Structure 1
Amino acid sequence: MADDFHKPTLFGGREFEAFESSSPDPAVTRRIAHDTARSLVSRVRDAGDPSVVDRVVGFTDEHGLETIAELWAMSGPRTLPGALWRIYLLRVMIRQDPDGVALLFQRGTEVLATIDPIVAGAPTPAGPQEVLELSDRILRGVFEGDFADALERAAAFCRVEAAGAASVADDQDAAAPERSTELTTRAARLTTIAEDLASCARLARDDSLD
């Protein structure tokens, strides 16, 4: 099985053929998104090979998000492809700005009175290297270990990060209103992602995430 993953390919020939048309059928696109998401998760899990997981986790580092964005980004937020898209997106966000993410995460741990920092799994204090390692652990959890737990950790991470962004936005409201607005928007988006991932985790526990 591991030989099938020389590169962590997401699409087969038939899937690419479906995109030859400039206006693919939305129903076909949705079906392919779900099929590729199921296939990727099941094949990597069945492989039982850490090197396969490493390659899939690092897929966006080499290829960017464009390949999976064509399909998964347009899927419903509370579906398997929608969940995978959000987790990959979070990982890219962290890797692009680990210092900024670590700052907001640390602030979130200081202002939240919940167990979310513990559920997310980052140490306290969490610096750039720690949040980078956390992003890898969350994504690896999709392909090994308990899938629902990985989604819960990702949701908890988003809640902590959102709380930190909202807190820093309040601090900068007077001195840097544009930055404050940017952070407020970021907090709102992260909160929505957290809600979607938490819902996906519940569906996964019921074996009904598709």
Structure 2
Amino acid sequence: MAADFHRPTRFPPGMFESYIGSEDPAELSRAAHDTAAAVLSRVREDPDPEIVDRLVRYTDEHGIDAIAELWSQSPAKTLPGALWRIYLLRTLIRQDAESVAYAFRRGSEVSTTIDQVVAGAATPTGPAEVRELADRILRGLFTGDFAVALDRASSFCRVASAGFTSLADDADAADAVHEHRPRELTRRALRLAELADELAACARLWRRESLD
């Protein structure tokens, strides 16, 4: 259950490194759940700003693969699966903040929902704003309402997905020569839509204390 994490007495100094390297699927699954629960419960119990900063920026120093080896194979509707998807979203944003910001702005224009409000991106939304939002969402997992952070991430993905879909339609109509462009934009839209659904499902499970 979301409220029943084991509470370690101190933060693991090596974080994820000591778990990496096993090839036993059962052991990897156990490690994924154990590390996700331990990291989250430890930081939420005592949200030391220095530790939170380290966690937010962990992939900047060690790369997304350091977390992927543990959490990327976890089912979407689990705690390690949720954490993986938030880190993945942050990485995708930081790798191409300009395109993602443009898609978010377009999505805000074409969307008929309140998702852009829920996401909470500053306006006008540029590369710096989406990078800052990604950090705030990840920080919110550790220091704020976990479900709200997941909902914000889900809404962000939904708006950006709508934006990429709209841009794909424009590209398809305007440039038949570069056929790969609409396909690439559509692929990004579909992946973000999938992420949005997965994160929203995790938020619902967390509120029912069923995300484990």
Normalization by structure 1: what TM-score? 0.91
* Structure 2 unaligned blocks of 5 or more: 1-7
> Do 1:5 and 1:52's aligned partners in 2 also have CA atoms closer than 8 Å?
no
> Does the 8 A contact of 1:165 with 1:186 survive in 2?
yes
Give the secondary structure class of the aligned counterpart of 2:72. Answer: helix
| Counterpart Cα distance in 2 of 1:118 and 1:197 | 17
Q: CA deviation at 1:71?
A: 1.3
Do 1:122 and 1:130's aligned partners in 2 also have CA atoms closer than 8 Å? Answer: yes
Contact persistence 1:104–1:165 (CA under 8 A): yes
Provide the aligned C-alpha RMSD in A.
Answer: 1.7
Residue 185 of structure 1 corresponds to which residue in structure 2?
187
- Given that 1:2 and 1:47 are in contact with CA atoms closer than 8 Å, whether structure 2 keeps it comes out as no
Percent of aligned pairs with the same amino acid: 57
Match of 2:47 in 1: 48
Aligned pairs for 1:101-140 (under 5 A) are: 101-140=100-139
C-alpha distance in structure 2 between counterparts of 1:195 and 1:72, whole Å: 18
User: What SS does structure 2 have at the residue aligned with 1:172?
Assistant: helix
2:4 corresponds to: none
Provide the C-alpha distance between the structure 2 equivalents of 1:186 and 1:55, rounded to a whole number of angstroms: 29
How many residue pairs get matched? Answer: 202
Moved over 4 A (4+): none
Q: Provide the residue aligned with 1:171 in structure 2.
A: 170
Other structure's SS at 1:48 match: coil
Does 2:62 match 1:73? no
Is the CA contact (8 Å cut-off) linking 1:10 and 1:40 kept in structure 2? no
Structure 1 portions without partners, runs of 5+: none
| Structure 1 residues 67 and 173, CA gap change in structure 2 (3 angstroms) | same
The structural deviation recorded for 1:116 is 0.2
Give secondary structure in 1 for the equivalent of 2:93.
helix
So what's the TM-score if we normalise by structure 2? 0.90
**Which SS does the other structure have where 1:70 is aligned?**
helix
User: Is contact 1:10-1:36 (8 Å) kept?
Assistant: yes
Amino acid corresponding to residue 67 of structure 1 in structure 2: A
- Which residue pairs with 2:5 in the alignment? none
Highest RCO, 1 vs 2 (Cα 8 Å, sep ≥ 6): 2
How far, CA to CA, are the matches of 2:200 and 2:166 in structure 1? 22
